[in-house]
Structure 1
Amino acid sequence: MANSRHRKPDDRSNNVERIRDIVKNTEEKVQEAEISMEFADPLESNRLKEKNKRRKQSIEALKDEMKDEMTARKKGEV
C-alpha cells in the first residue's frame, strides 16, 4: 500500500518504439476489418467503415506524437 503514494518517474525512453507498435497493430486491425467488410451485412459493414475511419485518425495522431518523441529524443530531452 505504501507504493501507491509514490508515482513512478516518467520514463519516455521507449515511447517511440511503443507508439510504433501501437500504430502497426492498429494498421493491422484496419486491414482485418476491410477483409471482414467483404463478408459483412450492410449494417456491420457501415459500423466497420466508421470504426476504421476513427482508427485512421488515431494512426495519424500517433504518428504526430511519434515525431514529437523522436524530436525530443534527438534534443536529449528523453
Structure 2
Amino acid sequence: MTMNTPKPDDRSDNVERLQDMVQNTIENIEAAHETMQFASPEERAQIEAKNKRREESIAGMREEIKDEAAARENGYQ
C-alpha cells in the first residue's frame, strides 16, 4: 500500500500569482465593456452582473495579496 504525502506548502509566488489574476480579471472587465455596445439589453444586463461579480473578486484578491505580502514579510509563520 502506497501512502500519499502532501506536497509542501509553497507560498513563495502567491503575491505575484494573485496580482496576475487581478490584472487578467481587469482585462476581462474591459473586454466585456467593449462587447456591451453590440449586446442586446438582456445580454448587457448579464454582462453588467458578471462584471460586478468580477469587481467583488478583485476586492477579495487584493485583500488576499495584502495578507500574503504580510505573511511573506513575517517569514510565513
Say whether the fold is shared (TM-score over 0.5): yes
Corresponding position of 1:8: 7
Structure 2: 5+ residue stretches without partners: none
CA distance in 2, matches of 1:17, 1:3: 35
Change (3 A) 1:4 1:14: farther
Structure 1: 5+ residue stretches without partners: none
Corresponding position of 1:27: 26
**What fraction of aligned residue pairs are identical, expressed as a percent?**
45
Q: What is the deviation of 1:75?
A: 1.2
Per the normalisation by structure 1, the TM-score is 0.92
Match of 1:54, SS state, is helix
- The aligned length equals 77
CA distance in 2, matches of 1:30, 1:38: 13
Per the normalisation by structure 2, the TM-score is 0.93
After superposing on structure 2, the runs of 4+ consecutive aligned residues of structure 1 that deviate more than 2 Å are none
Alignment RMSD: 1.7
